[in-house]
Amino acid sequence: MIAPSLLAADFARLADEANAVPGADWLHVDVMDAHFVPNLTLGLPVVESLMKYTDIPMDCHLMIDNPDRWAIGYAEAGSYNVTVHAEAAHDPVKLAKDLRAAGSKAGLSIKPKTPLEPWVEVLRHYDTLLVMSVEPGFGGQAFIPEVLDKVRTARRLVDTGHLTVLIEIDGGINDETIEAAAEAGVDCFVAGSAVFGSDDPVRAMESLRAQARACGRR
Ligand code: DX5
Ligand code: ZN
């Protein structure tokens, strides 16, 4: 699966940009609050408006403080998947239950330096695991290959039936890095600059998908 990240799109033309990637599996929306990360993007009103212009399932990545309070609105608005950060959530198990009760999938994200092991039990309550392969906050950064160890561990836990999460990766995914991520066992690849920075976003997306398929283990 490929989830183009609108962070690299033209924010004044978000609906057009969403429609420029018709084959996308999910549309990745980066919500940043200038507190959890040193950058500010968009929030719920923009996500709600955008939903009127696209049928692509919305994958909201909340890089915000206190997601326990704010994440639910994104689920209630109709997002397909709402991802919160393990480092920011106060009660991640309750949060996952709330998100699911509101009708969305629940996602848990970990930053590059956050280990996976302490979160494995919590992840039993989640549908997706978003492994950050750059420090969250900005697009266009270089992929951090060391995070693939966490992907391999998560893949093993899923393949042996200990977890049922879909494994997503975010940051620095392009035609030079996607194969290693696919080999490690990623299911869903977020790509911002590699898709929206390209002259032909559909072709860029399809070429990433073909590479991932060729190298993926599933
Ligand atoms: C970064 C965001 C990413 C970003 C990825 O904090 O979470 O989703 O858009 O951008 P690229 O693909 O350019 O690294
Ligand atoms: Zn993201």
pLDDT 10s digits, 192-218? 999 999 999 999 999 999 999 999 865
Counting every residue written for the chain, the total comes to: 218
Q: Work out the average pLDDT over 16-37.
A: 98
Q: Work out the average pLDDT over 141-156.
A: 98
Residue 140 in contact with ligand 1 by CB distance below 6 A: yes
Q: Work out the average pLDDT over 168-182.
A: 98
What's the CA gap between 56 and 199, in Å, rounded? 21
Half-sphere exposure of 161 (CA within 13 A, CB side): 0
Taken in order of first residue, the domains within the chain and their CATH numbers are 2-215 (3.20.20.70)
CA distances from 153 to 127, 148, 160, 193 (A): 16, 9, 11, 27
Q: Which pLDDT value is given to residue 36?
A: 98
Q: Work out the average pLDDT over 38-55.
A: 98
CA distances from 197 to 138, 140, 191 (A): 14, 9, 10
What's the CA gap between 58 and 150, in Å, rounded? 25
Closest approach atom of ligand 1 to CA 174: 12
Q: Which pLDDT value is given to residue 216?
A: 82
Phi, psi of 66 (to 5 degrees): 50, 50
What's the CA gap between 150 and 51, in Å, rounded? 32
User: Is 172:151 a contact under the CB 8 Å cutoff?
Assistant: no
Q: Work out the average pLDDT over 16-41.
A: 98
Q: Which pLDDT value is given to residue 87?
A: 98
Residue 157 in contact with ligand 1 by CB distance below 6 A: no
Q: How far is the CA of 170 from the centre of ligand 2 (A)?
A: 6
In this structure, what is the dihedral angle of CA atoms 31, 34, 35, 37, given to the nearest 10 degrees?
70
Residue 197 in contact with ligand 1 by CB distance below 6 A: no
- The secondary structure of 31-80 as a DSSP string is EEBSSSSS-B---HHHHHHHHTT--SPEEEEEE-S-HHHHHHHHHHTT-S
Predicted confidence band at 86 (pLDDT cuts at 50, 70, 90)? very high
What's the CA gap between 9 and 204, in Å, rounded? 14
pTM, 2 dp: 0.98
Phi, psi of 104 (to 5 degrees): -115, 170
Whether the pLDDT of residue 149 is over 80: the answer is yes
Give the list of residues 6+ apart from residue 187 with CB closer than 8 angstroms, or none.
1, 166, 167, 168, 218
Q: Which pLDDT value is given to residue 218?
A: 57
Q: Which pLDDT value is given to residue 108?
A: 99
Whether the pLDDT of residue 126 is over 90: the answer is yes
Whether the pLDDT of residue 12 is over 60: the answer is yes
Closest approach atom of ligand 1 to CA 32: 6
Residue 130, token pair as written in the block: 């978003």
Q: Work out the average pLDDT over 55-74.
A: 98
Q: Which ligand is nearest to the CA of 6?
A: 1
Residue 3 in contact with ligand 1 by CB distance below 6 A: no
